[in-house]
Chain A
Amino acid sequence: AQTVTQSQPEMSVQEAETVTLSCTYDTSENNYYLFWYKQPPSRQMILVIRQEAYKQQNATENRFSVNFQKAAKSFSLKISDSQLGDTAMYFCAFMSSLNQAGTALIFGKGTTLSVSS
């Protein structure tokens, strides 16, 4: 069974700094999707960034980028120029590409990120 591990329960950073959140996963599949979701205190989960395993190029979305190391099964999130609005819990998630798995996401336990001024 697939597992997702986030080893940093809490992190803090100052505005304008860069922070990296770690995520490792375990799977025997070759094709899959990886995601970072953000859950602000209001609780609605928002997709931050998505990576397809067959793509070697690391995904980027504005200030957010990932370092995807397929062989090492590592998927870290880098937030550049941190802003107060980045304060949230961040979840790393895995989705199988197997048809029978549907859209079931396997989540890590999350990292609470606090951005201070």
Chain B
Amino acid sequence: KAGVTQTPRYLIKTRGQQVTLSCSPISGHRSVSWYQQTPGQGLQFLFEYFSETQRNKGNFPGRFSGRQFSNSRSEMNVSTLELGDSALYLCASSRGPNTGELFFGEGSRLTVL
């Protein structure tokens, strides 16, 4: 069965712009979470959605937001981009909360100039 699909894979933006990233989870998975990966900070949890509701949120500013649709697909948005937002953004899906295993997508590589 198809894995977690993230689009776009690569994108370049300039400071002050906003960006929307998309994630389609594995069929049947209802929980989607997002992570930011940078060389300096490593992998950091952004937020998690389950049944269209945000269940948990990491320590990121309000410029980072997300949502989940009724088909479990999720989007995350970053507004007023800063240079430090350049990162690999990973999406992961699971059957539900506390199931103990996440399946990751290949990520969206964001470069902010």
Report B-chain residues with C-beta under 8 Å of the C-beta of A104: 33, 45, 48, 56, 58
B24 part of interface (Cβ distance < 8 Å): no
Interface size classification for chain A: 20 to 34
Interface size classification for chain B: 20 to 34
B84 part of interface (Cβ distance < 8 Å): no
Report A-chain residues with C-beta under 8 Å of the C-beta of B106: 42-44
Measured CA separation A2–B94 after assembly (Å): 22
The contact of B56 among A43, A101, A108, by CB within 8 Å, is: A101
B70 part of interface (Cβ distance < 8 Å): no
- Count of chain A to chain B residue pairs whose CB atoms are closer than 8 Å in the complex: 68
B43 part of interface (Cβ distance < 8 Å): yes
Whether the Cβ atoms of A102 and B98 lie closer than 8 Å is: yes
A100 part of interface (Cβ distance < 8 Å): yes
Nearest first, the 7 closest Cβ-Cβ pairs linking A and B are A45-B104, A107-B43, A102-B56, A102-B55, A102-B48, A104-B45, A44-B106
A residues in contact (CB < 8 Å) with B: 33, 35, 37, 42-47, 50, 52, 91, 95, 97, 99-110
